Structure 1
Amino acid sequence: MMKKREMTIFGRFKSIRDAMMLSFSVLVVVAVLIFLLIAMNFTKKTIYENSRTSTSQLISQVNYDIDSYIDYMENISWVAASGSDLSRYLFNQEQTPEEKEAAKERILTQFTTILESRSDIYNVAAVADNGEALINSGADRLNKYVDVRQQSWYQAAIHSPTGIAVSSSHVQNAIAGSYHWVITLSRAIVNEQTGEREGVFFVDLNYSAISSLCSNTSIGSKGYIFILDEKGSMIYHPQQQLIYGGLKEERIEDILASKGDFLETEEGEDSKLYTMSKSEKTGWTVVGASYVTELMKNNRQAQMLYLLAAAGILIGVILISSFISSEITKPLRRLRDSMSLVEKGDFEQASVEITAENEIGSLSKSFNAMTQKIHALMEQNIYEQKQKRKSEMKALQAQINPHFLYNTLDSIIWMSEAGENDQVVLMTSALAKLLRQSISNDREQITVAEEIDYVRSYLTIQKMRYKDKLEYTIDVEERILDVWIIKFVLQPLVENAIYHGLKYKETKGNLDIRGYRRGNRVCLVVADDGAGMEESELEHILEKKEKKTKSNGVGVYNVQKRLQLYYGPEYGISYISRKGEGTVATVTIPLDGGKSNEETGR
């Protein structure tokens, strides 16, 4: 036996169209997924780099704006501090009281002009080591509880290489009554007599000036900017109070230690990106703190667009692949449908339309040629089978007719010798009727009524032969009398019943012939109360090797063969028998008399 090969992957599909469509879809899905992974990864990196570059540009711009602002304030301080009046006044150089007072008025007027011209300046003042001081318009005084010379911004200017210093944010407490949050720009004043730095001119800048430069620049809804000096002190932070209160921390040490312009750190479930820009002028470091999730917001939008595009592509591919696979497999489906018609025996409609010159077209041509040849061979075979069946049936009839004639003539001779002339006439008439019915009709079928009439003539002869040893009854429903049946079906069964069932019975033998309808079938029953049969005999009664006797040269087998040859294997003869009790033979034929079988060429 041929070993069944394991089914392939595509062989598991019931439709080539489905297999092709799935193959196309899988290939496209794989290609789209690879493209998506590459494109999304590239886009993510690009957006991240662009976001970093954009943030860096913003921070650099803030740094530039702060430098410009400080540079402008340095120019103001230079104008105010470089005049000779301020130096002579502070260091008590040779001046009369009137000259000193006049110089003071000029200096204070200049301070007042600066204050009034700039809303972002709180204080303009000059202080010397000797205790002299000029503050704003002259009405303010130094805080007697604070040593101004010890202030960090004071010392920074004195010791600065350039003589200029910018402080971190602080509360200005050196001036009495002035406790503003400021950034102090201080410039050292040189005593012309000694050539030493013995005083400082300073401008207190409103903290909001620096704050506005930072807060006006947006780096996301959660991002912010802060400023560190060279030592890491916080010059500006939007949450300055939280920083000083220890409630908020920044990675200041990491920022100062970073050698690049970017530092990425983890903060909870998000990552924070620090972008730094250090000022060459002030030494300050402007830091932009942004969150990666915000920076990558455009990446999420891009990913969504990619996914939508991929979904659109996949839907399009599925539709297109469905159409293409349907078109490619359409000839195969036509071929399959034609094969189904051939399987059902419909050769007239089984021809396949040739729509292509490819392998499928070639296969369709071969199929059409094969179908036509098979159809022709089947038609020829059907014709030959019909002729063979007619020949067989005529041969069977020829076998049966001499048998009747032999037995009947034997009886006539016997009665003639006995001088029973009336019986001879009656039997001869019955025989003539039988022969006339047998040879005068070339039809394959007769009605049940004619078959019963034929059997009645036969039983008339047998009744005369066996006299009181044989009794028979015939009871057939009137509604089946017009049903068609092949000739010579019941007579061999009746003959079998007489010769094998009743002949050797010591008492009278009874033979009953009945006919009735059961559903779409007609049943004709021949029952006797004769010798009956053993079960082993019953099993072989319909076999071809059934033993022939001189009383029955044909046997039940020939009748069975004729019935099944004409009506089909589901019809024919069935037997029920018990030894010593009798035998019942039932013939079953279709109600339509086998017309459907005749139409299909059975």
Structure 2
Amino acid sequence: MRIEVRFKSIRTNMIIYFSLLVLLTVTVFLFFSIRFTKSNLMDNSEKNSRQLIEQVNFNIENYIDYMENISQVIMNNRDITGYLFDDKKDSGEDLKEAFQTILHARTDIYNIAVLGNNGRYFINSGNDSLNIRARLKDKEWYQDAKMAESKILISSSHVQNLVKNDYKWVVTLSRGIPNPATGRVEGLLVIDLNYDVINDLCESISLGNKGYVYILDGKGEIVYHPQQQLILSGVKKELLKEVSASKTSLTHTDENGENKIYTPFHSKKTGWTIVGVNYTSELAGNEFTMKTMYTGAAFILILLASLFAVLLSAKITRPIKQLQAAMKQVQVGKFQPVSIETAGDDEISSLTRSFNSMTERIDELMKKNSKEQAEKRKSELKALQSQINPHFLYNTLDSIIWLIETEDSEQAIKMTSVLARFFRQAIGNSNIYVTVWQELEYTRNYLLIQQMRYKDKVAFDIRVDKEVMECAIVKLVLQPLVENALYHGLKYKTEQGNILICGHRQGETVVLKVMDDGAGMTKEALNTIFQKKTDQKHNGVGMKNIQDRLNMYYGPGYGLSVDSKEGEGTTVTITIPYRLMEDLNEET
């Protein structure tokens, strides 16, 4: 059965396949890098151990050189041969002074002694007695020193044998003392060196947390070992002769199952073999750190490669995404112009150019339609302006004639002037928007004319905050509402009627109110106020017309709301957005 994995997005496919390719490459690289680094780690560890061992050997040889120089200084003292081989000199005061000077200056020298074949000897200050029970002649280091004659010989570590009742561990430097009379070696200079000096030199370096250094002499016997007592007692085992005979590193598993790497270095000067011991478990710890580091680096590389794949795929698929988004807009009926940048002659670029051409054509048609709609709005505005009540005009002219006939020319002139301003503002401005101040002036002129016609029948007041005076409002909104208040609210009142126009800013909106204390409306009339009426006696502009225009220019969130009580009056509230005239980009 064949299973195919498919993803909905081209970009997802690109990211997945690119990431898999990078993962495979990094895995192969990681495998070979770890193998190479592991081998290199072992080589570097061995090289580092050898350098450290060479440093220990260098320090030991320098120390032995210094002790040889001291022994040469002692050998140059003629009092030694005089004391050992001249029976006439029994006093060792001169030797005592020389030995004491050296012992006080060098705390690492434990004993200084001269021994003659004739049985004479002098140890340290002359107060120490030779340990006869030690049988020096039977000791291996003593026999070797005798055989070496005048050559300097360094023994392996041992318990000192010279002084009675003292059992410290020492390393002995010895050389033969020739008798000037016979020319033969008939005495021996012995310098016991403190074993702790060798211990300090070996512990001055670090071979990890568990590694250590030990020293073998030319016979493969231990000169120094940090666990020397355990080895000599047989509790612990150590590679001795195998390492002493080897010139290269050895790997060995001890009795505890731990793997060790032995790195030997043979000193030509001392004849000793300095051995450095590393535990492979510590190298494995370094190997684990190395693997962790490599794995972390590989993980970061994969993350970076994945990020690169995401960015690269985003760049490649961006035109497709843009085209898809633009098509979705067109699909839901949003025909705004969409222009997608294209480069190249590939299939996506060709498709994008075709889509751009299509949206440009749609944009042209939409602009043409928008222009036609703007012209239609202007025609509607002109039609609205032409709907100003002709009866109002005829009645006003009759009032002017009556004032002239009664020789009240001042009132006639005033009414004519106000009427002229009213019509100039009503039909002389073809803009869709005017300022609130202009709309109020137009309405004020209308009310002044009505007030002059009806004398004490009508009173009005305008209380609009200065803050909203420069706000833009659709033309011919307030006057029709005031006209409705007059003819449907105040006309049939026997006493004086009042109209109040107020306005203020409320956040990002402007609230204007036209209030009257006229007849009010019944609930049935209030519920049908925004319905189109064809049997109106009054030829004014209907509430529905005003509401429709406000909704058309501002949106459904703005417009009129009416509150009325029969016998108490009516309040019409106008809500529009706060926009200044200079912020509007309207078509005039």
Bin for the TM-score computed over the shorter chain: 0.5 to 0.7
Given that 1:334 and 1:352 are in contact with CA atoms closer than 8 Å, whether structure 2 keeps it comes out as no
Letter in 2 for 1:360: I
Given that 2:246 and 2:264 are in contact with CA atoms closer than 8 Å, whether structure 1 keeps it comes out as no
Mapping 1:213-232, distance limit 5 Å: 213-232=201-220
Alpha-carbon spacing, 1:368–1:68, altered in 2? closer, same or farther (3 Å): closer
Alpha-carbon spacing, 1:36–1:235, altered in 2? closer, same or farther (3 Å): same
Given that 2:170 and 2:193 are in contact with CA atoms closer than 8 Å, whether structure 1 keeps it comes out as yes
1:159 aligns with 2:153: no
Gaps of 5+ in 1: 372-602
Mapping 1:131-280, distance limit 5 Å: 131-160=119-148, 163-260=151-248, 262-267=249-254, 271-280=259-268
| Aligned equivalents of 1:213, 1:176: Cα separation in 2 | 29
Deviates more, 1:352-361 or 1:114-123: 352-361
- Provide the residue aligned with 1:35 in structure 2: 29
1:76 aligns with 2:70: yes
Alpha-carbon spacing, 1:240–1:78, altered in 2? closer, same or farther (3 Å): same
Mapping 1:239-388, distance limit 5 Å: 239-260=227-248, 262-267=249-254, 271-295=259-283, 300-332=288-320, 355-356=341-342, 357=344, 358-363=346-351
Given that 2:150 and 2:177 are in contact with CA atoms closer than 8 Å, whether structure 1 keeps it comes out as no
Equivalent of residue 128 in structure 1, options 116, 130, 136? 116
Equivalent of residue 15 in structure 1, options 3, 9, 33? 9
Cα deviation digits, residues 205-229 of structure 1 (max 9, x gap): 1110111111122222211111110
- Provide the residue aligned with 1:49 in structure 2: 43
- Provide the residue aligned with 1:567 in structure 2: none
Alpha-carbon spacing, 1:180–1:348, altered in 2? closer, same or farther (3 Å): closer
Letter in 1 for 2:218: E
SS in 1 for 2:134: coil
- Provide the residue aligned with 1:101 in structure 2: 90
Given that 1:48 and 1:296 are in contact with CA atoms closer than 8 Å, whether structure 2 keeps it comes out as no
| Aligned equivalents of 2:268, 2:334: Cα separation in 1 | 99
SS in 2 for 1:222: coil
Alpha-carbon spacing, 1:54–1:128, altered in 2? closer, same or farther (3 Å): same
Cα deviation digits, residues 406-427 of structure 1 (max 9, x gap): xxxxxxxxxxxxxxxxxxxxxx
Given that 1:154 and 1:200 are in contact with CA atoms closer than 8 Å, whether structure 2 keeps it comes out as no
1:90 aligns with 2:84: yes
| Aligned equivalents of 2:257, 2:348: Cα separation in 1 | 61
Letter in 2 for 1:312: I
- Provide the residue aligned with 1:116 in structure 2: 104
Kindly state the Cα deviation for residue 232 of structure 1 after the two structures are TM-superposed.
1.0
| Aligned equivalents of 1:189, 1:107: Cα separation in 2 | 15
Alpha-carbon spacing, 1:348–1:183, altered in 2? closer, same or farther (3 Å): closer
| Aligned equivalents of 1:221, 1:6: Cα separation in 2 | 57
Alpha-carbon spacing, 1:59–1:332, altered in 2? closer, same or farther (3 Å): same
| Aligned equivalents of 1:332, 1:238: Cα separation in 2 | 75
Kindly state the Cα deviation for residue 304 of structure 1 after the two structures are TM-superposed.
3.3
SS in 1 for 2:199: helix
Percent of residue pairs bearing the same amino acid type: 44
Kindly state the Cα deviation for residue 125 of structure 1 after the two structures are TM-superposed.
0.8
| Aligned equivalents of 1:90, 1:366: Cα separation in 2 | 120
Given that 1:127 and 1:199 are in contact with CA atoms closer than 8 Å, whether structure 2 keeps it comes out as yes
Mapping 1:393-404, distance limit 5 Å: none
Cα deviation digits, residues 544-586 of structure 1 (max 9, x gap): xxxxxxxxxxxxxxxxxxxxxxxxxxxxxxxxxxxxxxxxxxx
Given that 1:341 and 1:347 are in contact with CA atoms closer than 8 Å, whether structure 2 keeps it comes out as yes
TM-score (norm 2): 0.54
| Aligned equivalents of 2:326, 2:75: Cα separation in 1 | 110
Given that 1:55 and 1:288 are in contact with CA atoms closer than 8 Å, whether structure 2 keeps it comes out as yes
Alpha-carbon spacing, 1:66–1:83, altered in 2? closer, same or farther (3 Å): same
Alpha-carbon spacing, 1:370–1:152, altered in 2? closer, same or farther (3 Å): same
| Aligned equivalents of 1:209, 1:346: Cα separation in 2 | 94
Given that 2:262 and 2:277 are in contact with CA atoms closer than 8 Å, whether structure 1 keeps it comes out as yes
Kindly state the Cα deviation for residue 233 of structure 1 after the two structures are TM-superposed.
0.6
Cα deviation digits, residues 395-443 of structure 1 (max 9, x gap): xxxxxxxxxxxxxxxxxxxxxxxxxxxxxxxxxxxxxxxxxxxxxxxxx
Given that 1:335 and 1:352 are in contact with CA atoms closer than 8 Å, whether structure 2 keeps it comes out as no
Cα deviation digits, residues 340-368 of structure 1 (max 9, x gap): 999xx989979997553422233556799
SS in 2 for 1:318: helix
Given that 1:123 and 1:203 are in contact with CA atoms closer than 8 Å, whether structure 2 keeps it comes out as yes
- Provide the residue aligned with 1:585 in structure 2: none
Given that 1:172 and 1:178 are in contact with CA atoms closer than 8 Å, whether structure 2 keeps it comes out as yes
Given that 2:148 and 2:175 are in contact with CA atoms closer than 8 Å, whether structure 1 keeps it comes out as no
Given that 2:149 and 2:185 are in contact with CA atoms closer than 8 Å, whether structure 1 keeps it comes out as no
How many matched pairs?
357
| Aligned equivalents of 2:258, 2:327: Cα separation in 1 | 66
| Aligned equivalents of 1:313, 1:118: Cα separation in 2 | 61
Alpha-carbon spacing, 1:29–1:361, altered in 2? closer, same or farther (3 Å): same
Letter in 2 for 1:20: M
| Aligned equivalents of 1:368, 1:70: Cα separation in 2 | 94
SS in 1 for 2:215: strand
SS in 2 for 1:141: coil
